Chain A
Amino acid sequence: MKRRHLLAASALALGLGAAGAAFADDPLKVGFIYIGPVGDHGWTYTHDQARLEVEAHFGDRVETSFVESVAYGADAERVMTQMALSGVEMIFATSFGYGPDVNAVAGRFPNVAFEHATGYIQEHPNVSLYNARFYEGRAVIGHIAGKMTETNTVGYIASFPIPEVVMGINSAFLHARAVNPDVQFRVVWVYSWYDPAQEAAAAEALIEQGADILMQHTDSTAPVTIAQDRGIYAFGQASDMTAFAPESHLTAILDEWGPYYIARVQEKLDGTWEAGSVWHGIGDGMVGFAPMNEAIPEDVRAEAEAMIEAIAAGEYHPFTGPINRQDGTPWLAEGETAPDGDLLGMGFYVEGMTGSVPN
């Protein structure tokens, strides 16, 4: 107990020192915490690329720091507390599970601006939420897959059965079905965001079942590598994975956090930052695409690009009725688009999907 007090006291003293030294001309300190390693070439990698964009954009006016592979819970709370004490005025917490930790720390440091990715807990006026509409990207790759599969079997490597992942499967499936009534999706849940060996084994199991196109909602580059080895196609995740599978990588849904980070840091610099909650898609530039592979036929690419434009312009919503649930009960009526609340709580497959969402 005693030692903990001592630590807290010294940390506080350090913090006070830092706060006292924070003159107006000092750079704005911005901290980032990541759930994985910056070299995962997936989720965390994209956030770190955005951090570098912030640095390049603001130069001397901003100073960034990051801590990688931070576990949810006590670790995250400790890291963010440490950041706040050392004079960081803005913290990007870039994973869903940091929610409770962000809010706990935000309560103690009302002057620090917190930006929490993909979260939903907002207990303090200094906690802001942001998320990307990845399902918009999945609609496009679903369309391409539906057109290109010859075995009519698409393999899907899924991480955890949470709404984010389920809505991605549904979006991809609906758009594959729309252009190919015989297409089937086979889903394998690996219960991990990042486990290359497991993801590789899942890819092989799916290929064994006849899949000739793979999609993934996990962060490693293993599935596209296996696809390249076995001579089938695959879509990358989060960042451009072409280098890992030059022939097989059709395109990838990109996480583009940079523009949002730059805008928010600018607001913080201007003193106009306010907590909000945004869910940006292709139109806002938060969801993008890696270069399309030559293997995609000309007409399919044109259709995909038209769909990207329509979604970006707000003319088309990937979840537009009529859509039934898997059990046949109606979900969206003709012409109706999915309310955000339905999507964010999505725990069911749409009609035509085989298998079931694990509990």
Chain B
Amino acid sequence: MIDLSSINPVVLAAALMVAATPILLAAIGELVVEKAGVLNLGVEGMMITGAVTGFAVAVMTRDPYLGLLAAAFGGAAISLLFALLTQVMMANQVASGLALTLFGLGFSALLGQGFVGVSPPRTAKLDFGFLSDLPILGPILFRHDPMVYVSLALVAGVWYFLNYTRGGRILRAVGENHEAAHALGYRVRRVRILAIAFGGACAGLGGAYLSLIRVPQWTEGMTAGAGWIALALVVFSSWRPWRVVLGAYLFGGIIVLQLNLQAAGFRIPVEYLAMSPYLVTILVLVIMSSGRARKTLAAPGSLGRPFHATG
């Protein structure tokens, strides 16, 4: 009765990459933050701030790329609030992160008041010439908006930076054991503040991807929990950049696949599939809060611990 061929796997794969991109962007940023030993639960707040600043700037300048740039700055700017609280004033990271999310949601609603119902300038899909015309591979891989490729390039960059550069090793050292890193003369606080700003910029980009490309419109609270999924992804990938890609595409895949299966009329236990990303997220956050489980997951040694420079 149901025609399995009614779902086009090529379209599905292409849609999956698009659905995964916002959480991939936010997650790769948070990975760097956590690798530096900081747990920033404010991803949702930074994403929504990026979504609104990116949208506003894109609308005012009629240039989506300026909008994306502004989103990165917006996300980084609001993340510096978190940096101020946790790195300078030594506030609790979990509480500050949650506060950042609440603040971001409210602040973005305020900023976005004049932009509801406005249509943003569109980003063109890239055309790679003969590559885009390839059968199957063309539509899956070579006909997306630029941000899909930027997100993958960011992952590659982060992977290279963490593993093969001096700066990356210092960042990891700070995250693994901030006392030792400090004793070696590395500036723990400065490294962490830079990492937090990078995480904020990435989250901002992820948010703007939603408001400028994915949906494209601005409405309050439009990230609707994507930031929390990004947080869970980092743990799910045990802090490895390429696994973040895998996780994001898996999560994006579940969402897109279940919607497409439903649209095609398949009888599937929708309620469980729709819940699954959130269930995994909750599970991961529970695991995160237990110290022993964290160790077995190979979390950075100093993750979430405040650093006081003592002599």
Contacts and interface: CB of A to CB of B under 8 A. Distances in A.
Interface string B183-215: 000000000000000000000000000100011
B74 interface: no
A329 interface: no
Contact of B217 (A69, A187, A205, A225): A225
Interface in B238-269: 255-256, 259-260, 262-265, 267, 269
B6 A209 contact: yes
The majority secondary structure among interface residues of chain A is: mixed
A339 interface: no
Given A191-B271, A191-B275, A359-B271, A40 B263 contact: no
A: contact size bracket: 35 or more
Contacts of B270: 189, 191, 358
A359 B269 CA distance: 9
B69 interface: no
B219 to A, nearest CB: 6
Count chain B CB atoms within 10 A of each CB in A155, A187, A202, A354 and give the residue with the most. Answer: A202
B71 to A, nearest CB: 16
B255 A187 contact: no
A128 interface: no
Interface stretch (B108-116, B123-131, B288-296): B108-116
Interface stretch (B25-33, B146-154, B221-229): B221-229
B217 A202 contact: no
B73 to A, nearest CB: 23
B15 interface: yes
A355 B265 contact: yes
Contact of B112 (A39, A200, A354): A39
A206 interface: yes
Contact of A196 (B6, B11, B119, B210): B210
Contacts of B112: 39
Contact of B220 (A40, A189, A200): A40
Contacts of A358: 269-271
B215 A222 contact: yes
A186 B3 CA distance: 14
Contacts of B109: 37, 39
12 contacts: A39-B109, A187-B262, A191-B270, A197-B223, A197-B226, A198-B224, A202-B259, A204-B15, A205-B15, A208-B260, A211-B263, A356-B267
Interface of B: 6-8, 11, 15, 19, 22, 109, 112-113, 116-117, 119, 210, 214-217, 219-226, 255-256, 259-260, 262-265, 267, 269-271, 274-275
Interface of A: 36-41, 69, 155, 186-192, 194-198, 200-202, 204-206, 208-209, 211, 220-222, 225-226, 229, 243-244, 354-356, 358-359
